[in-house]
Amino acid sequence: MPAPTPPLRDAAVLVPLYRDTAGQLRLVVIRRTDFGVHGGQLAFPGGKRELQDASLEATALRETEEEIGLPAAQVRVLGALPSIVTEVSGFRIWPFVGHIEPPTQWRWQPTEIAEVLSVVVDDLLLPDARVTGTWQLSGWPVPMAVSFYRVGPYPLWGASYRMVRTLLPRLAAGDFTI
């Protein structure tokens, strides 16, 4: 008999959007430091739900302030995307889309975050922005096809990729007013 699957743990992220001075819609992503399970990967600010969090939205806002110094007062939550289940780490991630007032300079948590990136959403819609490649990662028994978005020199893949893939058509449909 197979071992029972442990219950999924809840986590939440903020998917921050804003318009720059030229009117271009931008998406904020973080690059994690090179340490840990998700070292070096692009992600959205967020993390696991804590007992003091009144809701998963509160989790996303708390974690965003802790990780990149963006206070909840500078975020207007516009709605949510469908939850994403991670295969490896056992989380159900609840993404909340928010319109933000970006600071003039980001103040991120240097033990967790290597940099904060601001991506022009239209760049993610370009034909060559979405790519599939064959990767062999540590712990994978065989190379696997992985789809990702090119964000400068970095691949945005995994759960974050799935969130962006869901977000883009909703932005095009006008589901979120920014």
Tell me which CATH code domain 9-123 carries.
3.90.79.10
Tokens in use for 4?
């029972």
Q: What confidence score (pLDDT) does residue 140 get? A: 62
Q: In the chain, which ranges are continuous DSSP H helix?
A: 56-68, 121-124, 158-172
The two three-digit tokens of residue 76, written as one number = 């207007």
At CA 41, angle to CA 107 and CA 12, rounded to 5? 70
Total residues belonging to the chain: 178
103 contacts 16 by C-beta, under 8 angstroms: no
Domain positions in the chain are: 9-123
What's the confidence (pLDDT) of residue 90?
86
Q: Please give the pLDDT value at position 135.
A: 64
Structure tokens given for 18: 């804003």
In whole angstroms, give the CA distance from residue 149 to residue 123: 10
- pTM exceeds 0.85, yes or no: yes
Q: What is the mean pLDDT of the chain?
A: 91
For residue 87, the SS3 value is coil
pLDDT in tens, 62-120: 999 999 999 999 999 999 999 999 877 789 999 999 999 999 999 999 999 999 999 99
User: How much is the pLDDT for 136?
Assistant: 65
**Is residue 162's pLDDT more than 70?**
yes
Which two three-digit tokens encode residue 108?
Answer: 């991120």
Percentage of the chain beyond pLDDT 70 is 91
Token representation of residue 73: 């007062």
